[in-house]
Amino acid sequence: MSGGFRWKLEPANAEALLVDAARESGESLWKDAWRKLRANRIAFAALVFLALVGLTSLLAPLLPLPSPVALELQDEPLHPVAPWTQLGDHGFTPEYWQLSAIDGALVSVRRSLFDDWQTAHWLGTDGKGRDLLSRIVWGSRTSIAVALMATLTSLLIGVTWGAFAGLAGGRTDEILMRIVDAAYSLPFIFVVIFLITVLNTWKVELETRFGIDREVLFYVAIGAVYWLTMARVVRGQVLALRHSEFIESARALGASTPRILFVHVVPNVMSIVIVYLTLSIPAVMLFEAFLSFLGLGIEPPKVSWGLLAVDGAEAINPIRIDWWLVVWPSAAMGTVLLALNVLGDGLRDALDPKLRGKP
């Protein structure tokens, strides 16, 4: 161009620029989110805490804790003792409910490692002499499993339903979302109670013929009615994406609706779904505790945090208050719920596309 500025790039300089460009790789959404989550110290500490809780819960059969159902009948519950005053004793008895093959193997490993040694009653005992620390750890397995399975069930139904409704649009979207509105009009608690009650009538047949116990029914019953909000959230996100260029390109190339749905649409809404999941798990855990408190949840001799809440409520009376039966289970559930909410808040900031690339 005459009269203008002309910048001439030498071949050697061009090769150097190409090498530098190849060395600098773009940062994906998930890498950027992980970097920002690690930079958020509070959210990352919540993630580490939840990982430790999950690991402790998973390895509960391997820990040298007393059996959560072993009875030591006495006149009244025992007070907590400090670990440095009484570390433990050799009174372990392998009394459990029917364990899975993996849990049974872990208990065998635990006995080979620690023999009959067990920790003392560091958090005290309940009215039947059962160790409270052991019941909290074993109860966390049940409560976390219920929350995860119910949330994943709602994830499977809600994401598929909402994504298909938003992508299809038109009359299909109207019909699917009117079904969601009709389901929303039903009292949530009564629907779950109704499902659990009805399924309990076929409990024996389901266990003998299909191997489905009450615990699995409990997971499905909660998850089957907890997907409605998920469907609405995903549908709103898909409506914003359905006319995007990459969706139109996939249609032009002849991609089928299921392929567009699960290959192109769902991965682009997973960030908001993950944030919603971290906020849904605490709600499901509280709901499990509420149903167990009503006697509709996990059945003894299994234990959950909801059943521990029942024991704590029975320990409160005008004459005597066994405070440790209320404080320790409440502290365990409260810290986990707080960590989940803090992690959800951190994930919301880390996965926010408007903050992409910012520290």
- Summarised one tens digit per residue, pLDDT across range 260-299 is 777 777 777 777 788 778 777 877 777 777 777 777 777 7
Look at residue 14 in the predicted model and tell me its pLDDT: 57
Least confident of 3-7, 79-83, 186-190: 3-7
Higher-pLDDT residue of 352 and 307 is: 307
Does 352 score more than 80 pLDDT?
no
Nearest-angstrom CA–CA distance, 32 and 44: 14
Does 359 score more than 60 pLDDT?
no
The H-or-E segment that residue 118 falls in is strand 118-119
Q: Mean of the pLDDT values across residues 186-201?
A: 73
Q: What angle do CA 80, 85, 88 make, to 5 degrees?
A: 75
Tokens of 221: 């019953």
User: Tens digits of per-residue pLDDT, 336-347?
Assistant: 989 988 888 888
Q: What is the mean pLDDT of the chain?
A: 79
Does 239 score more than 60 pLDDT?
yes
Nearest-angstrom CA–CA distance, 307 and 288: 10
Look at residue 211 in the predicted model and tell me its pLDDT: 65
Look at residue 55 in the predicted model and tell me its pLDDT: 93
28-42, 85-99, 276-290 — most confident range: 85-99
Look at residue 2 in the predicted model and tell me its pLDDT: 47
User: Tens digits of per-residue pLDDT, 121-149?
Assistant: 899 888 888 899 999 999 888 888 888 87
The H-or-E segment that residue 89 falls in is strand 88-89
Q: Mean of the pLDDT values across residues 319-348?
A: 85
Q: Mean of the pLDDT values across residues 309-335?
A: 81
Q: Mean of the pLDDT values across residues 235-257?
A: 80
How many residues can be counted in the chain? 359
Ordered alpha helix ranges (H), the chain: 11-23, 29-39, 41-58, 101-114, 132-168, 170-184, 188-201, 203-205, 214-225, 228-241, 245-252, 257-259, 266-293, 305-314, 324-350
Buried b (16+ CB within 10 A) or exposed e, 71-110: eeeeeebbebeeeeeeebeeebeeebeeeeeebeebbeeb
Higher-pLDDT residue of 166 and 48 is: 48
Does 61 score more than 70 pLDDT?
yes
Instruction: Compute and round to an integer the Cα radius of gyration of the chain.
Output: 27
Question: Are 98 and 70 in contact, with CB atoms under 8 Å apart?
Answer: no
Least confident of 35-49, 142-156, 186-200, 304-318: 186-200
Higher-pLDDT residue of 220 and 105 is: 105
Does 354 score more than 60 pLDDT?
no
Does 310 score more than 60 pLDDT?
yes
> Which percentage of the chain shows pLDDT scores above 70?
84
Q: How confident is the model at residue 13 (pLDDT cuts 50, 70, 90)?
A: low
Does 164 score more than 90 pLDDT?
no
Nearest-angstrom CA–CA distance, 57 and 254: 48
Domains contained in the chain, CATH given: 29-355 (1.10.3720.10)
Nearest-angstrom CA–CA distance, 112 and 130: 23
Q: How confident is the model at residue 56 (pLDDT cuts 50, 70, 90)?
A: very high
Q: How confident is the model at residue 154 (pLDDT cuts 50, 70, 90)?
A: confident
Nearest-angstrom CA–CA distance, 264 and 260: 5
